[in-house]
Amino acid sequence: MSSSPWSLISKPPPITLLHHQRPPLPTVRVRAATSKTTTAMPDHHPSLEIIGGGAERFLPALDTRHLPYKPFPIICWNRHLETICAAFFRAVPDVKYRRECLRTKDNGTIALDWVCGDHRRLPPDSPIVILLPGLTGGSQDSYVKHMLVKAKSKGWRVVVFNSRGCANSPVTTPQLQTASFTADTCHVVDHVSSMFPEASVYGVGWSLGGNILVNYLGREYHRCSLSGAVSLCNPFNLVIADENLRKGFNNIYDRALRGGLSATFSKHVSLFEDVNDEYNVQAGLNPRTVREYDEAITRVSLGYKSVDEYYSNSCSCHVVQHVRIPLLCIQAANDPIAPIEATPYEDIKENPNCMLIVTQQGGHLGWVAGDEAPFGAPWTDNVAMDFLEHLQNGASKPEAA
356 strand-pairing partners: 51, 329
335 is catalytic: yes
Give the DSSP letter of residue 72.
P
For CA atoms 75, 76, 78, 81, the dihedral sign is: positive
47, 180, 207, 262: the catalytic one is 207
364 is catalytic: yes
Backbone angles phi, psi at 129, to 5 degrees: -125, 130
DSSP-based three-state secondary structure for 267: helix
Give the DSSP letter of residue 189.
H
- Residue 200, classified by CB atoms within 10 Å of its CB into exposed (0-12), middle (13-18) or buried (19+), is buried
H or E stretch at 51: strand 48-51
What are the DSSP E strand ranges found in 270-373? 327-332, 354-359
Please, are residues 356 and 343 in contact by the beta-carbon 8 Å criterion? yes
How far, in Å, CA of 355 to CA of 1, rounded? 40
Query: Where would I find the H helices in 268-401?
Result: 281-285, 290-293, 299-302, 307-313, 345-350, 380-392
268 is catalytic: no
113, 184, 294, 335: the catalytic one is 335
364, 381, 386, 390: the catalytic one is 364
Length of the chain: 401
Q: Report the b/e string of 7-35 with b at 16+ CB within 10 A.
A: eeeeebeebeebeeeeeeeeeebbbbbbe
Which residues are tagged catalytic? 207, 335, 364
